């Protein structure tokens, strides 16, 4: 179950970044982290903390609820 959750978060993060035409480096710097750490989220190797998720949502000007829509 946890693996599926990570995959869905990874897919959503990648989708948002690509839709907004950003590079991983840009997103990482904007939320105060290094690119490899952010890349781990998009690759499903790590889960963002709630604080990191909130910062990502602020960057894209969406709510955490809208981010989580469709993530099972």
Closest by Cα among 34, 31, 3, 33 to 16: 31
**Number of domains forming the structure of the chain:** 1
Quote the domain boundaries for residue 33.
Answer: 2-68
Q: For position 1, what pLDDT does the model report?
A: 53
Q: For position 3, what pLDDT does the model report?
A: 83
**What pTM was estimated for this model as a whole?**
0.89
Contact 24, 38 (CB under 8 A): yes
Give mean pLDDT, residues 44-60.
96
Q: For position 70, what pLDDT does the model report?
A: 62
Q: Is the dihedral of CA 9, 10, 13, 19 positive or negative?
A: negative
Indicate the helix (H) or strand (E) that contains 49.
Answer: none
pLDDT score of 46 more than 90 = yes
pLDDT score of 2 more than 80 = no
Q: What CATH number corresponds to the domain at position 40? A: 1.10.260.40
Contact 12, 67 (CB under 8 A): yes
């Amino acid at each position: 179950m946890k693996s599926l959750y990570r995959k869905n978060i990874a897919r959503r993060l990648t989708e948002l970044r690509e839709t907004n035409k950003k590079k991983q480096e840009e997103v990482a710097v904007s939320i105060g982290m290094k690119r490899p750490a952010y890349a781990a989220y998009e690759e499903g190797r790590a889960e963002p903390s709630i604080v990191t998720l909130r910062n990502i949502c602020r960057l894209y000007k969406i709510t955490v609820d809208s981010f989580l829509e469709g993530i099972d």
